[in-house]
Structure 1
């Protein structure tokens, strides 16, 4: 597999067109029989968003070859039209073939070569054009279709192909070979172990799975929702006894991440409500300030929708960060308006109140503008990031900037305008013992600080130096690791291991892993698929473990403790190398370093 890396910002379709043109030129220079180069699907390293399996309890009627045929010719054809799906990668099972098994002795007796048989079969299945035929007012296209029929008829059609005519006797394929069904030579397989209704592990043996790959730029959640809607239709199209079942999708992780950020937004909003009501001591003033939060968020989301910025983890996280800053301008504006109105006679006419609000808005309008502008400028460097860093942090910076710009508009225009309706008369400033205590305490502390300025500066410098000395002990990482709810165990066997050996080891490891009550299923992918995907050898096994929610765990308190316990149990099998990660984390590591691990060592030499 060859990976071509383009500069940041190059259109993906232009890049694919350029690669396609070069592949056409390279195709002519590759010797016959070596193979033809082809491009992979239009997806990213994180494009494997959904996985399903085909299983059956009637293994006599539906073997792995039949399941694979159903996947390739029924399931895949129903999934490909879904918007956002670029490829369905089949994994596991046997690809059905019409196999012509030659008898060398009979070839010698008829003085034939293998190429004679190959050429005869190819020539018997060609399409030929027959020009045009006029029929009334229509023009019909005439063509001859060399179509070998399907099923048992196809076997007979191939067996009856004539190879040559010798002394008036036609030599057919059936005279020098046997024609039967067979399976393509494979370098991969899939097994899975589930829990039954009683919660006991049940090994399903070898199954056929499909990996749905998302088109680059498509929305993950929308694509998965469309796939889930299509599954009942696919189930109705499958024969009785065959079940399609999803066992991995990224929608749960997306929902969890969005739910976490949404929860943070709600909690921050509630805290803002409490603080504003406590300090302003006026319900109308607090309500007016609070209105700036939803209005600013709605305006920011409208701008994000206009510029095609999705509500992902980083962009929503940016809104969560900005929610506290969104009310700053409105609080300053409202406090100044409140101050002017509280000093005004309540019996004055409404026109006087509006003039007071206008005067208060003009006083703090410029400071509010520059204060918000400074916050926006602070996040400006994030727009200069390139590569992976830019992809990660620019959505957050954009959402923060949009939210702050919206909050600035609300503070300068909406808050003063609504104040003229909510405060038609002057207001009375209210005070409480708690606020008086805070105010008096602050005055005392301020006087002490002003009288001991040198000590204050010295303490600040010592704290700053002390904080810098703690930096080496904090540790660093590119991004915090998410809890995906799925563990990916990479098992490496001896390089000379066969597919059958790796499959047996995978099933033994599945039984061990399913002993942990936290594991809902264990699915092993051995080797690689026939087309596309990761070019792994058969000595590589990747086990996907679906986990229960953390609050239902009993064996360990966190994922790292659970991984340690799993490794201790699996280490009873000698000669195996285990690497623990998570599906998305593994892909991120591969995108950053080209290796599916957090630590990679590369050796270089002159020869």
Structure 2
């Protein structure tokens, strides 16, 4: 016979398909691994029959490419803005370009150090780079040099004289430039000490920023003075330009404000303290989250049927939900994963399904342009399926939550205790409280009881009358319904157990269990119902533990 099925995979509401996942080894680059997998899949396709197709439904490279593109755009735009501001405020095109040239060189140094220390390029590591911090030391050196050259009478310097002037000005100011960069570096030291999930998330950010600042510090002490001596004009003196007139304008506006603040210093201090207290109050009432939600471009809907639902019923419900979701023009395909696979990398009970919804490009959307609103509309359409709990999430976000806390939802309440029934009653009460909280989705309560089970209670008096032992009856029941290995079958070098059990036609109902015949010593047989009471009874659906303690989880997402 066939092995017992514990799961299934469906697609677009058309029927079942065969699915698989590629698991990346720790420490490897996801984009490179996916690229190599695609190359290997192209080779595998050539060996398959023509009517079999292989189609990926979750490809991390799309999200990675979009994230890197966002970072690249922000870095380029930020660099251009910084260059523009430098040129305008320094009032010298050559000086502005000297300072701006420190940006790509510092990033080059940072990228090299990231490669050496194994830090990957992602939103967290590259998104925290601040060009203002990078050019800080270079601005100090260049501005000091220009100020030094602008003092005194107008004259034309030789290259040796210019080198000496730049050396003198940079020597006087280099300690200030170095201390400024070092102070900024010290700020990131506490982040480098983080461990666990926090360290995994934020240490790359601190490392990348630190590498960039160290590179900028080295450049401000070596490269920037050299470029000043090489590029700045040899003619000393200063001619009034647009930058001077702009700063004079700001100075005229700022001077009266400064004088007013000095005259009313006690009032200014009191107002500042009051604003500080107000900001503390406002900050304490602000919402918070570990990370801002990232639009991955796909959905992952969790579908849960009532406790004890069969696998066939879960598959039928999943297919129905897929057909409803596929009716949206924004949906490219829907993949449903029900229960546990043959290799249970992501085990779930038969009544639970994950619906992976692959969306088209946002420019092709017609129902709505809002990502969250589209999920709400899908949930509204799915509400026509009675008795089923649906929850919207995103593929990577769901897995990330599960890895951090063991729960797929954004927020989880864990209750620890020894009594399963007490845990179930308390979890129901907590669920009611959560439902009353504004901004919380319907809570998903971990089902710890309510699973129908066939229970056999032996009548010891009757068993003694027939001369039966409990171990003998257990052995017959196990062989009839679970199967017992009676031999070994060899197929070339592979070995399989030869399992004997009742035909599937005699394993369909509780009556079949009650009618199972038990051999007795005189050679006759008696039905199991003569020596035991066979009945349905609700038992524990699952028992979850954390740190060797029983617990139940109530999870919910934030709207």
TM-score of the two chains, using structure 1 as the length reference: 0.66
Q: Tell me which residue corresponds to 1:497.
A: 309
- Between the aligned partners of 1:572 and 1:204, the Cα distance in structure 2 is 19
Counterpart residue number, 2:202: 393
Gaps of 5+ in 2: 420-559
Partner Cα distance (1:477, 1:349) in 2: 60
Are residues 1:332 and 2:140 paired? Answer: yes
Q: Are 1:307 and 2:117 matched, yes or no?
A: yes
Residue 25 of structure 2 corresponds to which residue in structure 1?
Answer: 215
Aligned equivalents of 1:353, 1:271: Cα separation in 2: 30
CA distance in 2, matches of 1:421, 1:385: 44
> 1:455 is matched with which residue: 246, 254, 267?
267
Question: SS of the counterpart of 2:58?
Answer: strand
Give the Å deviation of 1:551. Answer: 4.1
- Report SS of the residue matched to 2:57: strand
Q: State whether structure 2 residue 79 is matched by structure 1 residue 269.
A: yes
Task: Find out whether 1:367 has 2:176 as its counterpart.
Answer: yes
Instruction: Could you list the structure 1 runs, at least 4 aligned residues long, displaced by more than 4 angstroms after superposition.
Output: none
**Structure 1 counterpart SS, 2:318:** helix
Q: Write the deviation string for residues 408-466 of structure 1: whole angstroms up to 9, x where unpaired.
A: 11111110011111125035344224333123222332233223222322222222112
- Provide the residue aligned with 1:231 in structure 2: 41
Instruction: Specify the SS of the correspondent of 2:157.
Output: coil
For residues 79-98 of structure 1, the aligned pairs below 5 Å read none
Question: Matches of 1:457 and 1:601 in 2, distance apart?
Answer: 44
Q: In 2, distance between residues paired with 1:401 and 1:349?
A: 38
For the 8 Å contact 1:519–1:548, the answer to whether it is kept is yes
Instruction: Decide which of 389, 392, 407 is 1:577's aligned counterpart.
Output: 389
User: Which runs of structure 2 are paired with 1:148-297 in the superposition (5 Å)?
Assistant: 183-193=2-12, 203-297=13-107
- Which stretch of the first structure deviates more once superposed, 521-530 or 442-451? 442-451
Identify the residue that residue 599 of structure 1 maps to in structure 2: 411
SS of match in other structure, 1:246: coil
The aligned runs of 1:337-356 (5 Å cut-off) are 337-343=145-151, 345-356=154-165
**Residues 353, 426 of structure 1: 8 Å contact kept:** no
1:404 to 213, 236, 253: 213
Match of 1:382? 191
> Which of 436, 440, 450 is matched with 2:248 structurally?
436
For 1:511, the equivalent position in structure 2 comes to 323
Distance 1:435 1:249, change over 3 A: same
For the Cα contact (< 8 Å) 2:114–2:208, is it kept in 1? yes
- The CA distance in 2 between the partners of 1:385 and 1:483, in whole Å, is 27
Query: Where in structure 1 are there 5+ consecutive unaligned residues?
Result: 1-98, 100-182, 194-202
Q: Is the Cα–Cα contact under 8 Å of residues 309 and 395 in structure 1 kept in the other structure? A: yes
Partner residue of 1:522? 334
Structure 1 residue 558: Cα displacement: 2.4
Deviations 1:54-107 (A, max 9, x none): xxxxxxxxxxxxxxxxxxxxxxxxxxxxxxxxxxxxxxxxxxxxx5xxxxxxxx
For residues 155 and 87 of structure 2, the distance between their equivalents in structure 1, rounded to whole angstroms, comes to 22
Report the number of matched residues: 415
Superposed CA offset, 1:194-219 (max 9, x none): xxxxxxxxx54211111111111111
Give the secondary structure class of the aligned counterpart of 1:537.
coil
- 2:266 and 2:143 mapped to 1: Cα distance? 33
8 Å Cα contact 2:302/2:354 also seen in 1: yes
**1:502 touches 1:538 (CA, 8 Å); kept in 2?**
yes
Q: Distance in 1 between matches of 2:306 and 2:408?
A: 18
Asked if structure 1 preserves the Cα contact closer than 8 Å seen for 2:14 and 2:319, the reply is: no
Whether contact under 8 Å (2:82, 2:131) holds in the other structure is no
Matched, 1:419 2:228: yes
Give SS of 2:20's match: strand
Asked if structure 2 preserves the Cα contact closer than 8 Å seen for 1:342 and 1:426, the reply is no
What is the DSSP-based 3-state SS (H/G/I as helix, E as strand, rest coil) of the residue aligned with 2:212? helix
Task: Tell me the equivalent position of 1:317.
Answer: 127
CA deviation digits over 1:478-520, x for unaligned, max 9?
A: 1111111111100000222122111111111111112222211
Distance in structure 2 (CA, Å) of the matches to 1:527 and 1:606: 27
Give the match's secondary structure for 1:258. Answer: helix
Q: In structure 2, what is the Cα distance between the partners aligned to 1:599 and 1:474? A: 17
Question: Which residue of structure 2 aligns with residue 137 of structure 1?
Answer: none
Match runs of 1:65-76 below 5 Å: none
1:130-149 paired onto structure 2 within 5 Å: none
Residue equivalent to 2:348: 536
